Structure 1
């Protein structure tokens, strides 16, 4: 295992609702991160191919508008499925960069038709390692995304440490966080769409609570980036020019900020991950060890898979 390496957090926007163009942009950004020496590259929530902020999909309680169904189809068509050509291309990007690639995607279940907000993990040899599906979409997100059943609360034991994480407001769910901690996650990945200033405190809290490195990753998106011909585009009339201002961050296991939050632009943050610091941080706190009090508390997660050992 490498004790020290460079991790990169990519703050950018996809080419909204355009799968092919988004994949091209992703490849360019992966190359840029690789040029910075990154061995782990994280992209934001729903990077492929949109976090549809501000759009209603023509829904109100009790009715749906046909225009919203057309928007849903457009969204579906810009999404990907595990093992499809787009997924394989992402694996090739990871292989070309010789890095672990973790990316937020809209994942389509081609059997059921449901979309999930997911994180896809790829190894440096190009293998698809696994995924995590969001277990609880927030508010209006529940119109467009299904819920996972806990069977993809995944984690991975790799050559660069134990990787795992949660998406956006899942990180406010104490038991979901504990599900990650109990797998011994050392590098905790938190792609999000939350660009409020308070989010950085959440990232620092998780680092301190979990005694792990935390990579928080968000998009930078403007209203002008939305396609003019998008069904339901009129929903954005009263939205601000900057739809998501970023705020990506990297934090060490003692809550120290290694890469300051980036606001108001696209960019790639990097920081050195030193896994020895994870060990050192356990001196005075360990949520699954000497601070666990298993004689008082009994914690169980239904259907959570064991940590996957990755020989890469």
Structure 2
């Protein structure tokens, strides 16, 4: 089995600035030094709006919150738009598979989704995954997917797919990925807690797959000073997200990271033979699955795409 290099980018976008974020993305892809798979964090294009309320409380919304929503919408991306096509061009220039967390705006419904966009080394848009369950206050700003984008891709590097942030705590959602035979499990997140590391190791061991945990490093001074509702941030810490990106092999061994307290790029050599070796004694969809006892049916689940 061929060995390839994968990269996990831990960085912040230029918050609420789509154009500048795309420029920074291009620079970071170039710094990945020839990696054939490059992963960016949740909501990298162009902000995970940590600490912001959008002027919402139960029963009312503020004009300032609606203005902030406009800024947020304008910094977001739609499938097939010019920004999406630029990301594809970046993947093509790098000759890499690119997976990047985006705020995806649906131009028909006006709904925003937290999504992963996938691009191939030829620059093609391969598909996307929309988060099926936003957490807590995220439910104000993001819609819920219907399961039809629980996507996976059979690529020249291996089968890749993944879940976003706390979707990874959903046992049935994880199992839907395992059922597809995902070998390269992508987990962009906004969770910078130490306990998240245990979840990443557990998924690697449970799924017998390579796990790529990817988070942002964000400080409060990165937020534009002219944001509506900027007062929301007064009581927030100076470091809003401390990172914690990591790459883990199918036996739970850390190959790179965890990276804390700075922006940076983690790289690791990936050898899919380790997946075969790890399945000597455990396989979540094989001899350990007990289909005579258990059955999981996932509504609207798409087939794995051959790319």
Question: Which category describes the TM-score, using the shorter chain as reference length?
Answer: over 0.9
Question: What residue number does 2:72 align with?
Answer: 75
Question: What residue number does 2:116 align with?
Answer: 119
Q: Does 1:27 align with 2:26?
A: yes
Q: CA RMSD in A?
A: 0.5
Of 30, 53, 57, 2:50 maps to: 53
CA distance in 2, matches of 1:280, 1:3: 15
Question: What residue number does 2:6 align with?
Answer: 7
Calculate the TM-score normalised by the size of structure 1.
0.98
Q: Does 1:234 align with 2:231?
A: yes
CA distance in 2, matches of 1:215, 1:260: 10
- Residue 176 of structure 1 aligns to a residue whose secondary structure is helix
CA distance in 2, matches of 1:123, 1:270: 19
Q: Does 1:304 align with 2:298?
A: no
Question: What residue number does 1:162 align with?
Answer: 159
Shift in Å, 1:298: 1.1
Q: Does 1:264 align with 2:248?
A: no
CA distance in 2, matches of 1:3, 1:288: 24
CA distance in 2, matches of 1:265, 1:293: 44
- Residue 38 of structure 2 aligns to a residue whose secondary structure is strand
CA distance in 1, matches of 2:306, 2:287: 25
- Residue 36 of structure 2 aligns to a residue whose secondary structure is strand
Of 141, 144, 165, 2:141 maps to: 144
Q: Does 1:16 align with 2:15?
A: yes
Q: Does 1:192 align with 2:194?
A: no
CA distance in 2, matches of 1:183, 1:93: 28
State how 1:150-299 maps to structure 2 within 5 Å.
Answer: 150-299=147-296
- Residue 83 of structure 1 aligns to a residue whose secondary structure is coil
- Residue 105 of structure 1 aligns to a residue whose secondary structure is strand
CA distance in 1, matches of 2:296, 2:214: 29
Shift in Å, 1:260: 2.0
- Residue 38 of structure 1 aligns to a residue whose secondary structure is coil
Question: What residue number does 1:84 align with?
Answer: 81
CA distance in 1, matches of 2:135, 2:231: 23
CA distance in 1, matches of 2:301, 2:90: 29
Poorly superposed stretches of 4+, deviation over 6 Å:
none
CA distance in 1, matches of 2:66, 2:100: 26
Q: Which residues of structure 1 form unaligned runs of 5+? A: none
CA distance in 2, matches of 1:23, 1:116: 19
CA distance in 2, matches of 1:142, 1:3: 42
Q: Deviations over 1:75-99 (max 9, x none)?
A: 0000000000000000000000000
